[in-house]
């Protein structure tokens, strides 16, 4: 994720009384629209309604909470830059429908988990998994304050553990998967948990090295293929604005019907494989 800052100076807002829009978040969302990271009214509305400041913990007050860059949230983890949250939501938007099953890997602060929950209600389920137990616990408190109804009715569930160490064994496949930490290599365990017709957004690359954001699409039931795009080889229509190109050289042998597309260079904390 990029590190440039865009301060708005709009002050703080209330973060514990449900998902109430704030002037500061509205200003941030307007910036994301101008930047081109936000492309749909639906995602703009959802991000406006979830106050980023409520998920930052102690130490971040005023305009800094609404700047467009990642911020440390403790335990060696960060909350992603808002433009990366917007990008992930836009890329997954077609799969974030009422009733959808969603996995948020490296859920961290819980901010994006809240947005995902709002997009799949009613009837949807979002599982947020965070490997750092104290951070997972803290995110539960934030989520209960900002989206209490989604925590009470089970729309959102937070687990502490490692998705690459058997935690997902009993879980049904997911329609959408977001990974908030860089995997190296692209985990076949997560590809296997993607439902037919589903999509995963995942950064891939070594810690401190060259990383890129990838989209993994799986063909739908009865072999219904993802719709090919134009102008980028085997890319998909909705990925063209991001410069998506089909990527055949990534390590790993993927089953027929799994399509891997490289989008852009990014920088994330590493996804923990052995813990």
**Tens of pLDDT along 57-103?**
767 767 889 999 999 998 888 899 999 999 999 999 999 999 999 99
212 within some domain: yes
Which range scores top for mean pLDDT: 72-81, 140-149, 240-249, 257-266? 140-149
Q: Does residue 232 surpass a pLDDT of 60?
A: no
CA-CA distance, 127 to 209, in Å (whole number)? 29
Query: Which residues is 179 bridged to in the sheet?
Result: 105
CA separation for the pair 113, 89 (Å, rounded) = 10
- Tell me, yes or no, whether 222 lies in a domain: yes
Q: How far apart are the C-alpha atoms of 207 and 195, rounded to whole Å?
A: 28
Q: Is the pLDDT of residue 19 over 60?
A: no
Please determine, for residue 237, whether its predicted confidence score (pLDDT) is greater than 70.
no
CATH code of the domain covering residue 218: 3.40.50.150
Tell me the C-alpha distance between 21 and 13, whole Å. Answer: 9
pTM: 0.85
Domain-located, residue 175:
yes
Q: Is residue 37 part of a domain?
A: no
Q: For residues 84 and 32, give the distance between their C-alpha atoms in angstroms, rounded to a whole number.
A: 10
Task: Examine residue 155 and state whether it is found in any structural domain, yes or no.
Answer: yes
d(C-alpha 209, C-alpha 169), whole Å: 30
- The model's confidence at residue 229, banded by pLDDT at 50, 70 and 90, is very low
**Phi, psi at residue 226, to the nearest 5°?**
-60, 145
Low-confidence winner among 1-15, 88-102, 146-160, 216-230 (lowest mean pLDDT): 1-15
Provide the token pair at 192.
């296997």
Domain annotation covers residue 26: no
> For tokens 């692209």, what's the residue?
186
Q: Encode burial over 125-148: b for 16+ CB neighbours within 10 A, e otherwise.
A: bbbbbbbbeebbebbbebbebbbe
Q: Cβ(234)–Cβ(200) under 8 Å?
A: no
The residue ranges of DSSP E strands in 219-274, in sequence order, are 245-246, 258-266
Give pLDDT, residue 60: 73
Region of 49 on the Ramachandran plot (φ > 0 left; ψ -120 to 50 alpha; else beta):
alpha
Q: Which of 80, 107, 109, 160 is catalytic?
A: 80
**Is-contact 173 188, C-beta < 8 A?**
no
Structural domain harbouring 219: 77-266
Q: Is 109 assigned a catalytic role?
A: no
**Count of the separate structural domains present in the chain:** 1
Q: Is 66 helix (H, G, I), strand (E, B) or coil?
A: helix
| 64 in a structural domain | no
Task: Give the residue among 262, 232, 266, 227 at the shortest CA–CA distance from 247.
Answer: 262
Neighbouring-strand partners of residue 157: 127
* Residues forming beta bridges with residue 74, ordered by sequence position: 77
Nearest to 151 by CA among 177, 118, 195: 118
Averaged over 151-176, what is the pLDDT?
95
Alpha helices, DSSP H only, in the chain?
23-35, 41-49, 82-92, 111-120, 133-146, 148-152, 188-192
User: Is 100 inside any structural domain?
Assistant: yes
Q: Model confidence over 99-148: pLDDT tens digits? A: 999 999 999 999 999 999 999 999 999 999 999 999 999 999 999 999 99
- Asked whether 105 and 179 are in contact (CB, 8 A), the reply is yes
Pairing relationship of beta strands 156-160 and 194-204 according to DSSP bridges: unpaired
Q: Which two tokens stand for residue 257?
A: 């019907």
pLDDT category of residue 16 using cuts at 50, 70 and 90: very low
Residue 40 in tokens: 């749909």
How far is 254 from 191, CA to CA, in rounded Å? 9
């Amino acid at each position: 994720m990029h590190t440039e800052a865009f301060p708005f100076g709009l002050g703080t807002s209330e973060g514990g009384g449900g998902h109430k829009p704030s002037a500061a978040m509205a200003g941030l969302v307007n910036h994301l629209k101008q930047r081109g990271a936000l492309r749909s009214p639906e995602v703009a509305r959802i991000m406006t309604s979830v106050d980023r400041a409520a998920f930052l913990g102690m130490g971040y007050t005023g305009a800094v909470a609404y700047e467009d860059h990642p911020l440390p949230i403790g335990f060696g983890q960060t909350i992603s830059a808002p433009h990366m949250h917007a990008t992930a939501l836009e890329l997954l938007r077609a799969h974030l429908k009422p009733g959808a099953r969603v996995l948020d890997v490296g859920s961290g602060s819980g901010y994006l988990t809240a947005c995902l929950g709002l997009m799949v209600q009613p009837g949807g389920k979002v599982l947020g998994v965070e490997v750092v137990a104290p951070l997972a616990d803290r995110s539960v408190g934030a989520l209960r304050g900002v989206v209490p109804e989604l925590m009470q009715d089970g729309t959102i569930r937070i687990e502490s553990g490692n998705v690459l160490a058997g935690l997902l064994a009993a879980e049904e496949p997911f329609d959408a998967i977001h990974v908030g930490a860089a995997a190296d290599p692209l985990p076949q365990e997560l590809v296997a948990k993607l439902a037919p017709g589903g999509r995963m957004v995942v950064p891939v690359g070594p810690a401190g090295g060259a990383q890129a954001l990838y989209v993994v699409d799986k063909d739908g039931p009865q072999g219904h293929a993802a719709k090919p795009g134009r102008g980028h080889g085997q890319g998909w229509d909705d990925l063209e604005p991001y410069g998506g190109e089909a990527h055949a050289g990534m390590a790993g042998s993927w089953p027929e019907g799994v399509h891997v597309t490289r989008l852009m260079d990014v920088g994330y904390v590493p996804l923990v494989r052995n813990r």
